[in-house]
Structure 1
Amino acid sequence: MKQPIVMSYSGGKDSSLALFKLLKNPDWEVKRLLTTANSTYNRSSMHGVRTELFQQQAESIGLPLDVIWLTPEDGGDGYQRKMKKALENYKANGLNHIAFGDLYLEDVRAYRETMNDMIGLHSLFPVWGIPTQEFAKQFIQLGFKAIVVCVDTTQLDASFCGREFNQVFLDDLPNGVDWCAEKGEFHTFCYDGPIFSKSILFEKGDQILRENRFQYIDLLPI
């Protein structure tokens, strides 16, 4: 019998491949997607993507999307409080498992597991430990398509922002930059691939540098 599970979904490459593996696994039935967004800017918290686009992702995937709305005033404590409330609601409704797209960051995994253990949820990491070059090749070979939406300019040149995440992009990365950006070098938005019933359409908008460090590109829904 399949176990119901929630997928923590950022809309980027890591969580998209993790979701793909869950959907293909006969032991699991993905019931819902969970993400966070900034209520002030109406954009995803990490990637700066407009909420309309990740709502379109969920519709194309065919799963309901739960959004935890965060404000600049929330900080770490506010995030934990709102996340805890969402997870407790899942537990109360019979959803006892939640999956994440983390690959290697032990401290992030430990944080998630500690929070979930307190609530009585079991944590699952479908892509944990996959070597990042192998992960990137799998992602591309499966037919996923993604665009780089944010670059940490202290680790990677701003010119990489707005580029397609493909083999040419990977070949152009400087030595020391992880292919899956496990050190936070860049973030992606996945707009096509085997988990979607249709492509997510957008136009490239303006780019902006925030905090004198992070280069973002605005994706405009079509």
Structure 2
Amino acid sequence: MAKSQSYKGLINKSNEICMFTIENYNIVSKQKKAIFNWSSGKDSALTLYKILQNPEYKIEYLLTSVNQQFQRISMHGVRVELLESQSKSIGIPLKILQIPEMPSMEVYENVMTETLTELKNEGITHSVFGDIFLEDLRKYREDQLARIGFEGVFPIWKIPTQNLIQEFITLGFKTIVVCVNERYLDKSFVGRIIDQDFINDLPDNVDVCGENGEFHTFTFDGPIFSEPINFEIGEIVYRKYEKSGNEDTSNTACDTNTDDPFNFGFWYCDLIPKN
């Protein structure tokens, strides 16, 4: 908040300041209540770090989509227990969206609309995202939010991803790759900690932040955590999603690119919580 350059106080009979006429004073209005769309990965962690330093917003909840059948974070495959550990260490309550596997956009939007409508009744008006440069995705989010009366906030939008990943590492964040899309990366990349060696090993066609869905991460330590998240690396598994019948694959909430998402499989690294 900027400092007042001058003010005139009006004093009541009890000699208390009861009102101010303020000149040349930039006032930060009452904090805007917001939810944070938390994926559990590095972009979310860095974005949350930045938004928590912005006095304009108050983050009320972390909001995460979870596969209803397997109780793991959608696309990331991380167990709910580790998600809950992150929330506890960060100190912000968790809201979970229970989503069926491979939901249609209609199903996904209905669940999201219902949840946001409930949150709006708590006075929440803003939704924070860690998106970086996917224009269509941002427009989709903003259009959907506008229907409910929410506004989107994008703290790391258009910042070069090379800059973001270097800032992430310099700040002391630690994150592990939990999922890779075989279209871009092979099995050897899953289960690795993101450091300079990892960045140097990435093929030229892979964004260093995985912004095109090349890989997903789980962040387990850094300045937003009161203590590191304790886990051990479990099994590495391959999974290829199957479509049923004549399903329109362009209308699934898991579709992340223009190609048929069922053409490619994913390598997952299971993380096992430790007490």
TM-score by length of 1: 0.97
Q: Could you report, residue by residue, the CA deviation over 1:30-80 in whole angstroms, capped at 9, with x for unpaired residues? A: 111101001111100020000000110000000110000011374221111
Structure having the higher Rg: 2
Residue 52 of structure 2 aligns to a residue in which SS? helix
Residue 199 of structure 1 aligns to a residue in which SS? coil
Could you tell me which residue of structure 2 aligns to residue 46 of structure 1? 75
Inter-partner Cα distance in structure 1 for 2:127 and 2:213: 23
Inter-partner Cα distance in structure 2 for 1:193 and 1:9: 15
Residue 20 of structure 1 aligns to a residue in which SS? helix
TM-score by length of 2: 0.79
Change (3 A) 1:172 1:74: closer
Inter-partner Cα distance in structure 1 for 2:176 and 2:87: 17
Could you tell me which residue of structure 1 aligns to residue 216 of structure 2? 187
Could you tell me which residue of structure 2 aligns to residue 206 of structure 1? 235
Could you tell me which residue of structure 2 aligns to residue 32 of structure 1? 61
Residue 172 of structure 2 aligns to a residue in which SS? coil
Higher helix share: 1
Could you tell me which residue of structure 2 aligns to residue 14 of structure 1? 43
Inter-partner Cα distance in structure 1 for 2:90 and 2:172: 15
Map of 1:1-222 to 2, 5 A cutoff?
Answer: 1-72=30-101, 74-211=103-240, 213-222=265-274
Q: Could you report, residue by residue, the CA deviation over 1:142-191 in whole angstroms, capped at 9, with x for unpaired residues? A: 00000000011111121000000111100111112110111211000000
For 1:69, give the aligned amino acid: Q
| Structure 1 runs of 4+ with >6 Å offset | none
Q: Could you report, residue by residue, the CA deviation over 1:112-154 in whole angstroms, capped at 9, with x for unpaired residues? A: 1011000000110011111000000010000000000001111
Could you tell me which residue of structure 1 aligns to residue 12 of structure 2? none
Residue 24 of structure 1 aligns to a residue in which SS? coil
For 2:265, give the aligned amino acid: R
For 1:112, give the aligned amino acid: R
Could you tell me which residue of structure 1 aligns to residue 23 of structure 2? none
* Structure 1: segments with no counterpart, 5+ residues: none
What is the aligned length?
222
Inter-partner Cα distance in structure 1 for 2:141 and 2:168: 24
Inter-partner Cα distance in structure 2 for 1:49 and 1:89: 26
